[in-house]
Amino acid sequence: MARTLVVVGNGMVGHRLVQALRDRDAAGAWRVVVFAEEARPAYDRVALTSYVDTWNPLALQLDGAEFDGDDRVELNLGDAVVGIDRQARTVTTASGRVQAYDTLALATGSAPFVPPVKGSDLPGCHVYRTIDDLDAIRDTAERARTGLGRGAAMVVGGGLLGLEAAKALRDMGLSPHVVEFAPRLMPLQVDEGGGALLKRLIEELDVTVHAGTTATVIEEDRGRLIAKLTNGVELDLDLVVFSAGIRPRDQLARAAGLTVGERGGIVVDSGCRTSDPHVYAIGECANLDGKVYGLVAPGYAMAEIVADRILGGAATFPGADMSTKLKLMGVDVASFGDAHATEEGALEVVFNDAVKGTYRKLVVSNDAKTLLGGILVGDANDYATLRPMVGRPLPGDPGALLAPAGGSGGGVGVGALPDEAQICSCNAVSKGDISEAIVVGGCDDVTKLKACTKAGTSCGSCVPMLKQLLTVCGVEQSKALCEHFDQSRAELFEIVRVTGITTFSDLIGKHGSGRGCDICKPAVASILASLGNGHILAGEQASLQDTNDRFLANIQRNGTYSVVPRIPGGEITPEKLMVIAQVAQDYGLYTKITGGQRIDLFGATVDQLPGIWKRLVDAGFESGHAYGKALRTVKSCVGSTWCRYGVQDSVGLAVELELRYRGLRSPHKLKSAVSGCARECAEARGKDFGVIATENGWNLYVGGNGGMMPRHADLLVSEVDKETLLKVIDRFLMFYIRTADRLQRTSTWLDAMEGGLDHLRDVVVEDSLGLCAELEAQMAEHVKGYADEWAGVLADPEKLARFTSFVNAPGTPDPTITFREERGQRVPVLLGTPEVIAR
Amino acid sequence: MTALAETVWVELCPLESIAREQGVAALLPDGTQVAVFRTHDDAVYALGNQDPFSGAWVLSRGILGDIAGVPVVASPMHKQHFDLRTGVCVDDETVSVPTYPVRVVDATILLGQT
């Protein structure tokens, strides 16, 4: 019979323990019973602040948090454990349930520390820990907004979490004041010099910093709050958030008689075992070697250790890397190793560039030969290279490492690191692990490495290192499009754009070899079309197109085609619906409503296509480009015109977007949607670019996808007006068209982008590459040059002549195409395959 | 002396009915479908029109090109490549499609039948 592990707490660390055990316990020796205080499945607390972007709790939910389909895991949400009986080996829950255990794991986490300030329990005072906390903060903030002018908020605590809270409050439309007791922000991570720069950069973002002081009292005053600081300042406030550190939640353990540390935390040994051998403690509630770790990486390490121990292993805590790298309101801050030079004789090398707004410090051993730690503020690009070098001999003069030469760590590559060096500190993956996955495991790209080793799957800062390691291990990451072109698609795009080449023959003659194939021909045809080279069937272009583009319809399994007229935004008149119905009836076409809010007509033969389209075009329809690697549809909900919840005209915007970008050829298909309110009925976050209305404008999300690899789109800009929105979408799409690989959707393009979403935002919002005017101009060309492809065919006898089934018998239908009836419509009779294939 | 069966050449269409690097389908009197291709150098090839993997009669609509120097057509269904000269599938040599003798006389394409 299986033994029972009871896990108390369902935060990130508790969840990791269950996952790790289930991954390793192939024999099914253990069943797991989880008790969670919160009523929702485990979510990403590290990303809590991003909840403000969407107010959608599901966006934060961890992968596999519900353990669907795993009958070895019983997840009890909203039922906290209230007592432990170590003699009987049972726990009792708030609902009165008594559950026996063989082994118990405490992952109760921590509670926010609220300093003893008078008035800290007044309404309007909050902590910053859970989704519910943020909902409560939002309620208060919204009430503040209904008052006069901009509301104000105080954040008590200027550490990592405090600054996160300040960002969230700013995003909610409040003016935040950060009050920090220490003389600088983020006192644990940065030194005085870094702190001074950080304060300057943060204050440029409308956050007021009060360092070296503290609040003594908070009072109610005519519906608002007044906070008095020790430096004499009085703040007029709408709400207060305490984020002044954490306290381990060890009350359960105390009551059960387990040993706890002097300053709190359940005391555990290096195997995470408490004073009771049947009980483990992991994460922020545990006290290991007198320390409580408030980061997720050490918590994950503890979870892995306990999973190993439960299954008979002997893993021990390897020590924690307290290195941190984050981007706060666009400001890079990184701190690693012995950042404060506490080691005896440690030397500091500082490079402070007040003009550029960067502060860089390395801490080295007294012989200047070993790197001990460092601090980077303003630009933390070198963090990925520098952090793994901690404790290792320096490859050169420390000053040279700091020189801001292109941000590549002064030329120090990953090749210089020893195998034990940790590349991914979030998931504790060493250089040796990654090299092995490449050499032995056969991982030959970053995506496979991520799946195989988990490296790069949390914060992503080590992804550039993974690419370097692939190269170091001799994996040639060929960017050649196919055997005819050594260039990548992006490179070919640039060649065509810069040289003005207009034909495939010219391009392959000058820059490729051979005659081309089914990979490079459609790719180049798409590039030529993106840059506007007339009709896609004009001249030689026709021979480059895949059959769908060649016949401007979608081939189906029996060799017939389907037809999709454009229905912008999914909005259609009854008269136009009747035209579609009549055409379908006359040609005997099977009809189906698509996921993109239009109508697909199936079963047309090549020679029927012109007749069908003649009638559609005459009735005012145009090509829907369902056959092209091009913009497909812009879905919409009904929006504020009809919906009692809608806050903007989503249909109107969807129609406008669809008409603006129709016919735009791109590396892969493009889908879009517009939702009229936060309920998101149009599913915009599953699209390549999705727009969601807010009361004050539009939020733009990019890189979403459904299908086999679903991905929620990321927020690129928020609450912008329509003019700005169109500008950013223009730039985003053109940047994608220029730089993506062949058949690479925006989701994988964004995932593979070095610097990720931040980089994308730098390029298309902040214009860091100075490209935006060019990208906008290119889109303007497209919009101006658009013409309906089907109307173009119907007007040209030469193009029309290609739509025949048989060259020697025009008008004769293909005798191999036959239909049967199913649910009242015609469907294809399945075709046999010839005997030659029967082996 | 035994008389050998003579190849009968049937007129299909003018060469100009096929654009360079494209194909067309032709229907023979016995119902056979033939895919006829014209490559960049005006060479003409004829294969059976049925894609042996999907069973659909569509090979004439494939993209032409070369794989390691071999002239091929890629099936528009699932992109297997067929050698235009032999009909053999480049991706799986156990599979092939029929080939037909074909020639161009006075800018007209003739298909050979035995």
Of B12, B39, B95, the CB nearest to A837: B95
Q: SS3 string of A126-179?
A: EECCCHHHHHHHHHHHHHHHCCCCCCEEEEECCCHHHHHHHHHHHHCCCEEEEE
**Bridge-based pairing state of the strands A125-127 and A234-237:** unpaired
Which is nearest to A456 in space by CA: A503, A488, A498, A423? A423
Nearby residues of A10 by Cβ (< 8 Å), 6 or more positions away: A34, A35, A36, A37, A38, A41, A42, A75, A77, A107
Which of A807, A814, A817, A839 is best to mutate for the B interface (most B CBs within 10 A)?
A807
Q: Is residue B80 part of a domain?
A: yes
A424 is in an annotated binding site: no
Mean pLDDT, residues A96-108 taken together: 96
Put simply, the answer to whether B22 touches A836 (Cβ < 8 Å) is: no
B10–chain A nearest CA distance, Å: 11
Residue found under tokens 């204050």: A203
Mean pLDDT, chain A, whole residue set:
89
Largest CA distance in chain B: 49
Angle between helices A446-453 and A431-439 (to 10 degrees): 120
B3–chain A nearest CA distance, Å: 31
Question: What is the pLDDT at residue B4?
Answer: 58
Put simply, the answer to whether A555 touches B77 (Cβ < 8 Å) is: yes
Q: How far apart are CA A400 and CA A376, in angstroms?
A: 15
The type of residue at A528 is L
- Choices 3.40.630.10, 3.30.830.10, 3.50.50.60, 3.30.70.20: CATH for A125-244: 3.50.50.60
Question: Least CA distance to B96: which residue of chain A?
Answer: A836
Q: How far apart are CA B24 and CA A604, in angstroms?
A: 18
Question: What is the pLDDT at residue A420?
Answer: 77
Of A515, A806, A831, the CB nearest to B27: A806
pLDDT band at A838 (very low <50, low <70, confident <90, very high): very low
Question: Least CA distance to B24: which residue of chain A?
Answer: A807
Q: Which residues of B touch A (CB under 8 A)?
A: 12-13, 17-22, 24-27, 31, 33, 36, 39-40, 50, 52-58, 61-69, 71-72, 74, 76-77, 79, 81, 94-97
Tokens of A234: 């009085």
Question: What is the pLDDT at residue A594?
Answer: 95
For chain A, percent of residues with pLDDT exceeding 90: 59
Burial A528-546 (b: 16+ CB within 10 A, else e): bbbbebebbbeebbbbbbb
Tokens of A710: 């679903």
pLDDT band at A710 (very low <50, low <70, confident <90, very high): confident
- Chain A residues touching B17 at Cβ < 8 A: 807
Question: How far, CA to CA in Å, does A298 sit from each of A292, A302, A543?
Answer: 10, 6, 58
Put simply, the answer to whether A515 touches B63 (Cβ < 8 Å) is: no
Sign of CA dihedral A788, A792, A794, A799: negative
Question: What is the pLDDT at residue A478?
Answer: 74
Exposure of B31 in the CB half-sphere (CA atoms within 13 A): 3
Put simply, the answer to whether A807 touches B95 (Cβ < 8 Å) is: no
Put simply, the answer to whether A836 touches B57 (Cβ < 8 Å) is: no
Tokens of A157: 């605590």
- Chain A residues touching B40 at Cβ < 8 A: 515
Put simply, the answer to whether A542 touches B19 (Cβ < 8 Å) is: yes
DSSP one-letter string for A176-211: EEEEESSSSSSTTT--HHHHHHHHHHHHTTT-EEEE
Return the CATH number of the domain spanning residue range A3-110+248-310: 3.50.50.60
Tell whether the model's pLDDT for residue A477 goes beyond 80: no
Residue A818 contacts B, CB cutoff 8 Å: no
Question: What is the pLDDT at residue A367?
Answer: 84
In chain A, domain spans: 3-110+248-310, 125-244, 631-785
Q: How far apart are CA A108 and CA A85, in angstroms?
A: 17
CB pairs under 8 A between A and B: 115
Nearby residues of A307 by Cβ (< 8 Å), 6 or more positions away: A17, A20, A21, A23, A24
Put simply, the answer to whether B13 touches A807 (Cβ < 8 Å) is: yes
Tell whether the model's pLDDT for residue B44 goes beyond 90: yes
- Chain B residues touching A521 at Cβ < 8 A: 63, 65
Of B17, B19, B79, the CB nearest to A518: B79
Put simply, the answer to whether A516 touches B66 (Cβ < 8 Å) is: yes
**Is this prediction's ipTM beyond 0.90?**
yes
Q: How far apart are CA A517 and CA A364, in angstroms?
A: 56
Of A483, A545, A833, the CB nearest to B55: A833
Say yes or no: do domains A3-110+248-310 and A125-244 share a fold: yes
Mean pLDDT, residues A305-330 taken together: 85
Range of the domain at B77: 21-104
Put simply, the answer to whether B50 touches A834 (Cβ < 8 Å) is: yes
pLDDT tens for A751-789 read: 888 888 989 999 999 998 999 999 999 999 999 999 999
Residue found under tokens 């090509």: A623
Q: How far apart are CA A155 and CA A163, in angstroms?
A: 8
Rg, Å, chain A Cα set: 31
**In B1-114, where do the E strands start and end?**
8-14, 22-27, 33-38, 44-48, 63-67, 70-74, 81-83, 99-100, 102-105, 108-113
Terminal CA-CA length for chain A: 49
A526–chain B nearest CA distance, Å: 15
**Element holding A56 (H helix, E strand):** none
Residues A196/A184, Cβ–Cβ less than 8 Å: yes
Of A543, A547, A839, the CB nearest to B20: A543
pLDDT tens for A67-77 read: 888 889 999 99
pLDDT band at A390 (very low <50, low <70, confident <90, very high): confident
Q: Residue A690, Cβ neighbours under 10 Å: how many?
A: 27
Greater confidence (A390 vs A11) lies with A11
Question: Least CA distance to A559: which residue of chain B?
Answer: B56
Question: What is the pLDDT at residue A503?
Answer: 95
pLDDT tens for A482-510 read: 999 999 999 999 999 999 999 999 999 99
- Chain A residues touching B65 at Cβ < 8 A: 484, 514-518, 520-521
Q: Residue A614, Cβ neighbours under 10 Å: how many?
A: 16
Of B25, B56, B63, the CB nearest to A831: B56
Which is nearest to A421 in space by CA: A407, A433, A412, A439? A433
Question: How far, CA to CA in Å, does A705 sit from each of A329, A667, A685, A740, A751?
Answer: 26, 15, 8, 16, 12
Question: What is the pLDDT at residue A657?
Answer: 98
A452 is in an annotated binding site: no
B58–chain A nearest CA distance, Å: 6
Of B22, B31, B52, the CB nearest to A837: B52
Greater confidence (B102 vs A187) lies with B102
Burial of A409 (0-12, 13-18, 19+ CB in 10 A): buried
Question: How far, CA to CA in Å, does B3 sit from each of A248, A273, B6?
Answer: 101, 96, 8
pLDDT tens for A205-259 read: 889 999 999 999 999 888 889 999 988 899 999 999 999 888 999 999 999 999 9
Q: Which of residues 779-808 of A touch B (CB under 8 A)?
A: 802, 804-808
Tell whether the model's pLDDT for residue A296 goes beyond 60: yes
- Chain B residues touching A518 at Cβ < 8 A: 62-63, 65, 74, 79, 81
Angle between helices A463-472 and A446-453 (to 10 degrees): 110
- Choices 2.30.30.100, 3.30.300.20, 3.40.50.2000, 3.30.413.10: CATH for A631-785: 3.30.413.10
A662–chain B nearest CA distance, Å: 25
Greater confidence (A735 vs A710) lies with A735
Mean pLDDT, residues A391-401 taken together: 75
Q: Is residue B83 part of a domain?
A: yes
Which is nearest to A596 in space by CA: A522, A670, A541, A652? A670
Which of A485, A517, A521, A804 is best to mutate for the B interface (most B CBs within 10 A)?
A517
The type of residue at A376 is L
Question: What is the pLDDT at residue A144?
Answer: 75
Put simply, the answer to whether A517 touches B66 (Cβ < 8 Å) is: yes
Quote the number of domains for chain B: 1
> How far is residue A39 CA from its own chain's centroid?
25
Secondary structure percentages of chain A, helix, strand, coil, to 5: 35, 25, 45
Put simply, the answer to whether A518 touches B63 (Cβ < 8 Å) is: yes
- Chain B residues touching A525 at Cβ < 8 A: none
Nearby residues of A461 by Cβ (< 8 Å), 6 or more positions away: A325, A383, A384
pLDDT band at A147 (very low <50, low <70, confident <90, very high): low
Put simply, the answer to whether B63 touches A483 (Cβ < 8 Å) is: no
Greater confidence (A114 vs B60) lies with B60
Q: How far apart are CA A748 and CA A740, in angstroms?
A: 9
Question: Least CA distance to A815: which residue of chain B?
Answer: B31
Which of A537, A607, A806, A814 is best to mutate for the B interface (most B CBs within 10 A)?
A806
Question: What is the pLDDT at residue A201?
Answer: 87
Mean pLDDT, residues A108-112 taken together: 93
Residue A148 contacts B, CB cutoff 8 Å: no
Rg, Å, chain B Cα set: 14
Q: How far apart are CA A10 and CA A41, in angstroms?
A: 7
Q: Is residue B77 part of a domain?
A: yes
Q: How far apart are CA A204 and CA A235, in angstroms?
A: 20
Residue A517 contacts B, CB cutoff 8 Å: yes
Tell whether the model's pLDDT for residue A371 goes beyond 70: yes
Nearby residues of A743 by Cβ (< 8 Å), 6 or more positions away: A629, A667, A668
- Chain A residues touching B68 at Cβ < 8 A: 483
Of A518, A558, A836, the CB nearest to B65: A518
Put simply, the answer to whether B76 touches A555 (Cβ < 8 Å) is: yes
Q: Which of residues 459-488 of A touch B (CB under 8 A)?
A: 483-484
Q: Which CATH number fits the domain that encloses residue B78?
A: 2.102.10.10
pLDDT tens for A658-672 read: 999 999 999 999 999
